[in-house]
Amino acid sequence: SAVISQKPSRDICQRGTSLTIQCQVDSQVTMMFWYRQQPGQSLTLIATANQGSEATYESGFVIDKFPISRPNLTFSTLTVSNMSPEDSSIYLCSVGRSGNTIYFGEGSWLTVV
Amino acid sequence: GDSVTQMEGPVTLSEEAFLTINCTYTATGYPSLFWYVQYPGEGLQLLLKATKADDKGSNKGFEATYRKETTSFHLEKGSVQVSDSAVYFCALSDLTDSSYKLIFGSGTRLLVRP
């Protein structure tokens, strides 16, 4: 099984500020995925982070709001920029492994006040 | 595009009752299917999966069978416990392109009463 560590696990942020979430995987993976789960809602894919290239964003998500870095094959960051209360969500990092298994981190629970 | 439809919740059952949570999907390819569970205040855990037609995934007493003819992957458990109270998400992934992106259903909240 994959071990995925996310930081921070929880945070309370002031509106207008930015927060960077880190995702560390215990072994190398080609693609890492970032999801958002708004309160009481399902999970929505924000973007796919590939090492050595720009992230690929899903419809409704833009790089200016959610810049992503992928400096190596075990690490990625997602920044939530200029936060508003609508950004209060759980942000989750995910990776896939051979054997068709997809793993999630514990999530970063953000509250914007 | 691909999509997943789950039955709306909440589903409220008494302990030891039989559980079914319906899940159907639409996909252009031949997806793998998953059930994830999210316990209160916790992250997402893989419950079970199936990668081809007629495969049955099972874990912790839960089962789901990949039915290609009905494009369904219904979750069942013969006797639920209070500890099964959680939100259950059905999801699909088209792994043929080596992508591990998931498309989730809306989630179904299960509440089991003693």
Q: Judge: A30–B44 Cβ closer than 8 Å, yes or no.
A: no
Tell me what the pLDDT averaged over chain B comes to.
93
When CB atoms are compared, the residue of A33, A102, A106 closest to B43 is A106
pLDDT in tens, B17-70: 999 999 999 998 889 999 999 998 888 899 999 999 999 999 999 999 999 999
What pLDDT score does B28 carry? 84
Chain B residues whose CB is inside 8 A of the A101 CB are: 46, 49
Number of CB atoms found within 10 A of residue A32's CB: 27
Predicted confidence (pLDDT) per residue in A51-93, tens digit: 888 899 999 999 999 999 999 999 999 999 999 999 999 999 9
Confidence band of B8 (pLDDT split at 50, 70, 90) = confident
With a cut of 80, say whether residue A99 has pLDDT above it.
Answer: no
Spatial distance between the Cα atoms of A10 and B60, rounded to a whole number of angstroms:
29
Q: Is residue A112 over pLDDT 70?
A: yes
Of B32, B44, B106, the CB nearest to A104: B44
Task: Please give the pLDDT value at position B77.
Answer: 98
Query: For position B34, what pLDDT does the model report?
Result: 95
